[in-house]
Structure 1
């Protein structure tokens, strides 16, 4: 059917709104990238930065030459890769039995886990618990406390519930046990939701810094986002008194911008490989409750 005038107007209005949202979303990245590639004088210029008038890699050279930046990068990479892998593994072991109707008291266990989404002990009790578990100043403090994100686990459980039970029954007739069914049948069919949850978990690990402030005192175990915060925020106050928090250089806008781009680049590189699974995994995992 031929669209009406009102429908055409709505489509034009929709395109305009989406275009404006895209510009508002993309421009900050363009601005920061342009500042990081500009000369110090150009980087300090007030106003819009759509492209560098003259490419200057001085800021990037100073950022990449700092040892602490690479230490933070390595620690962030460790917590992201290991944390994401262990989280997916443990979530699968937890979500699969909760998705089976024959599990005794399944609803009770689910409610107990759901309770943790809304109520927590707070910063001080959590700090005392971490201390009693001997996780203070350890790289494992980045991974163990948040090993099972409740919301992600429930999404994975709902996805498992959407898999036909007949597949499991046929496998059991052929002699397969629950472990084999999970790893050879259920998980291969769950690639969309696993990719989605992996992206959520990886972004959370990569961007996290508050746990590093609370539980880590050794500078060699700090994550990249901690040093980014020191450069972009804390160092701004420190320079007022003539000192620098990280390294011995003065952090001009170009260096701060280069550090920000360096910190977000790995996730921007990984995202396109998981993007095709993202919408599908999110929608399917939310169909059944």
Structure 2
């Protein structure tokens, strides 16, 4: 390796390190602020470590029943939405791999068109309302049952499986459903894990859809609640509307501020989905790059 190559390698590593730090620091600073006394944070100078460490902010957040309820809605939506979406998309993709499916090319073109063109927000709103999904928990689930992009990835993976597996299944008396659930699906661990994470993150982080289709306060997920908090002075109102136990606790904590509570709420909304990543990290390379193997 020449000196020029070494210099270029060092520059690339330095650039990537600075990029990683600049990406990670805002999240770290929010965590530090959430762990610091609010009145002390208001003085400024909080950068990489809490100056006056406290868990009081999280105590207040977890005593607010509305935030905990919104958290539960997000958990339920993410679990049900991910399982149903992955299952339905995988079934659809498997059907699209069958050469005996009449009109397969037409269906594929129709699916691809939906990736680039849509009716827009108003037609979508009217459709959701006519389907009876407005202000319903199922508005989180039904519209996202099929993802065309994920279907293409699944289809590519399924086409890459040995053809002999399908023939062996037929000899053993398996039909389409038996082949899919007993052979194809168990062999699809990497792609299922990767697309499940992407789908779960999309469900967990979605705040826009509930803000359009949900009026019922009991159906608002944590991300929409967080968006409301960060976009207005609603945290001050939240502090005033806490139940009696939380109000009494808040009165005793003179160092609590709306900013410190906002940061604590943001951490509660963000950390759970981040903690899922290590469990599926080992599937990423094979799962994500599967689409480049065979078209």
- Give the structure-1-normalised TM-score: 0.93
CA contact (8 A) 1:155 1:286 kept: no
Which of 62, 86, 109 pairs up with 2:107? Answer: 109
- Provide structure 1 residue ranges, at least 5 long, that are not aligned to the other structure: none
What SS class does the counterpart of residue 129 from structure 1 fall into? helix
- Determine if the alignment matches structure 1 residue 244 to structure 2 residue 237: yes
What SS class does the counterpart of residue 144 from structure 2 fall into? coil
Which of 242, 260, 265 pairs up with 2:266? Answer: 260
Which of 264, 275, 280 pairs up with 1:269? Answer: 275
CA contact (8 A) 2:33 2:46 kept: no
Q: In the alignment, which residue of structure 2 is the partner of 1:144? A: 142
Moved over 6 A (4+): none
- Provide structure 2 residue ranges, at least 5 long, that are not aligned to the other structure: 243-255
Q: In the alignment, which residue of structure 2 is the partner of 1:231? A: 229
Deviation at 1:233, TM superposition (A): 1.3
Q: In the alignment, which residue of structure 2 is the partner of 1:160? A: 158
Which of 280, 284, 288 pairs up with 2:286? Answer: 280
Q: In the alignment, which residue of structure 2 is the partner of 1:61? A: 59
State the alpha-carbon separation in 2 of the partners of residues 49 and 254 from structure 1: 14
What SS class does the counterpart of residue 237 from structure 2 fall into? coil
State the alpha-carbon separation in 1 of the partners of residues 239 and 199 from structure 2: 28
Deviation at 1:60, TM superposition (A): 1.0
Deviation at 1:41, TM superposition (A): 2.1
Which of 13, 26, 39 pairs up with 2:24? Answer: 26
State the alpha-carbon separation in 1 of the partners of residues 157 and 43 from structure 2: 51
State the alpha-carbon separation in 1 of the partners of residues 152 and 9 from structure 2: 37
Q: In the alignment, which residue of structure 2 is the partner of 1:91? A: 89
CA RMSD of aligned residues (A): 1.7
What SS class does the counterpart of residue 143 from structure 2 fall into? coil
Greater mean alpha carbon deviation, residues 165-174 or residues 256-265: 165-174
Deviation at 1:176, TM superposition (A): 1.3
CA contact (8 A) 1:72 1:222 kept: yes
- Give the structure-2-normalised TM-score: 0.91
What SS class does the counterpart of residue 20 from structure 1 fall into? helix
CA contact (8 A) 1:193 1:285 kept: no
CA contact (8 A) 1:95 1:156 kept: yes
